[in-house]
Amino acid sequence: MALTESSLDPKNAALDVTVLAGDPWIGRVQRGQTVRIVDLEGNQAVDTLFYSAEDLSDRYSASDTIRMQGALYLTTGSVLRSTSGAALLTITAVTCGRHDTLGGACSAESNTVRYGHHTKHMHACRDSFLIAIENHANDDLARIGLHRPLEKRDLTCNINFFMNVPVTPEGKLTFEDGVSAGGKYVEMRAEMDVLCLISNCPQLNNPCNAYNPTPIRVLIWD
């Protein structure tokens, strides 16, 4: 993995927000802007989706991203591709060497399968995505610059930034302890106007975050 530091100063960011564990965040990143996601305390999974702001049906595609870069994991220089094959964003700096493209978002159903029926009521990333969509539907679309609100059908396979999900020689996924640490980040340049949807994972059942979900920081530079 090619680890690279950024020269951008947080003091010059146009946007600087903290997203608490279990909370969603949604925002627009204009073409040419840079967005940074910071793992403030370490080993926090950040479930993330990207969409073309001009056509929400043209969204991040895990399969096209993996196929066109010829690699499972994301690092400096990786281009995040949409369902049409277009470049959504390019990773320009990264200080954590593992970002998962396969594990997907936790949900009530997956929690039940992995951790037992008693966890079904617990908050999950799928819930956070749906909460963000509901709030987004009530936003002023003209202010955000979109033609329609996000809908449930727009939720597809996501990126899990900072999450360590190795693939075995047999093709199985394993959820391992994280390799991130406090202050590690991933930074991306938008190649078109994109909508970014984040669930800062609330998972309490997976030891990879020491059963302790923590906040993240999102910054955007012009």
**Residue 21 — very low, low, confident or very high, per pLDDT cuts 50/70/90?**
very high
Other CB atoms within a 10 A radius of the CB of residue 108 amount to 14
Residues 41/214/178/105 CA torsion (nearest 10 deg):
-150
> Per-residue pLDDT tens for 108-164?
787 677 777 888 777 789 999 999 988 776 655 655 667 778 889 999 999 999 988
B/e letters for 30-58, b = 16+ CB within 10 Å, e = fewer, are eeebbbbbbbbbbbbbbbbbbbbbebbeb
* Predicted pLDDT of residue 110: 74
Of all residues in the chain, what percent carry a pLDDT higher than 70? 93
Mean predicted lDDT score pLDDT of the chain? 89
Identify which of 88, 19, 1 has the alpha carbon closest to the alpha carbon of residue 49: 88
CB 210 within 8 A of CB 42: no
Identify which of 211, 212, 200 has the alpha carbon closest to the alpha carbon of residue 21: 200
Count of H-run helices and E-run strands, the chain = 4, 11
CB 197 within 8 A of CB 150: yes
Helical residues (DSSP H) of 50-209, grouped into ranges: 62-69, 108-115, 125-137, 141-144
Identify which of 135, 221, 149, 133 has the alpha carbon closest to the alpha carbon of residue 185: 221
13 or 165, higher pLDDT: 13
Best-predicted range by mean pLDDT among 50-64, 96-110, 116-130? Answer: 50-64
> What are φ and ψ of residue 9, in 5° steps?
-100, 125
Token digits for 75? 């690092």
Could you tell me the residue ranges of all domains in the chain?
A: 21-221
Check pLDDT > 90 for residue 32: yes
Query: To 5 degrees, how large is the angle CA 89–CA 92–CA 93?
Result: 130
